[in-house]
Amino acid sequence: MRTFTDKVAVVTGAASGIGQALAQALHNEGAQVAASDITPITAAPGIHTYHLDVADRDAIYAHAEQVAADLGRVDIVINNAGVALKATVQAMTDEDFRWLMDINFWGVVNGSRAFLPHLTKSRGHLVNISSVFGLIGVPTQSAYNAAKFAVRGFTESLRQEMRLTHTGVGVTCVHPGGVKTNIARNARSTDDFESSFEKIARTTPEKAAQTILNGIRRDKARVLIGPDAHVIDALPRLFASGYQTLIGPFVRGLTR
């Protein structure tokens, strides 16, 4: 997919951050954009906005049919909506764990499955947002790690299925590093997660969006966002499981 002109693009979690930047960037490049979020969206004229709770499976399937009916087709789907939770395994509640998994994992799975028939018709492209925490395990991020590792495995498997069955559907898994978004501000946390996150968030949402769009153009299997993502991707390659001895002191330094 070399151009986005006249393509129909679906972006979840589009009220702020990477999702908002993606919706605007796609609109600027001539795409018809269906932007959704659970909170109200402020978008440029011409961007179609929808209320959507990605934790609601039935709502996602209804959304897929509604977008296809409204815009005639679907060429690109970016499952971007996500939340954060910072807590140890022992401290987190079952309710918080389910809340995160319903959005970060099942939202991606159901978003992928609901739109796949439409993407197959258009020979389109699916993008699922994982994280650098889908590449390494981090203390106090077990729930987030679990969801993002699962998104990675699901997406990589799906890409292979699409290629083996010659559907023409491209599939990309995205691993952002620290991006300046509201995810930490809106996180459920047992301490001041926002201030520690801001220490490492160096990439703008606009830069992240352009990196993702370039990944779609090149049909990349994996997209890393930010220099920190490239460093983190290298850690398990260089040190295997030994990377875990490096992560603990780094995380403690962020919380001081």
Active-site annotation holds for 144? yes
Separation of alpha carbons 186 and 137, rounded Å: 22
- Joined together, the tokens standing for residue 43 give 């978008």
**What DSSP string describes 169-227?**
-EEEEEEE-SB-SSTTTT-EESS-HHHHHHHH--B-HHHHHHHHHHHHHTT-SEEEESH
Catalytic residue, chosen from 50, 61, 144, 243, is 144
The alpha carbon torsion through 68, 4, 151, 34 (nearest 10 deg) reads -40
Separation of alpha carbons 67 and 44, rounded Å: 18
Separation of alpha carbons 127 and 172, rounded Å: 5
Catalytically active residues, by annotation: 144
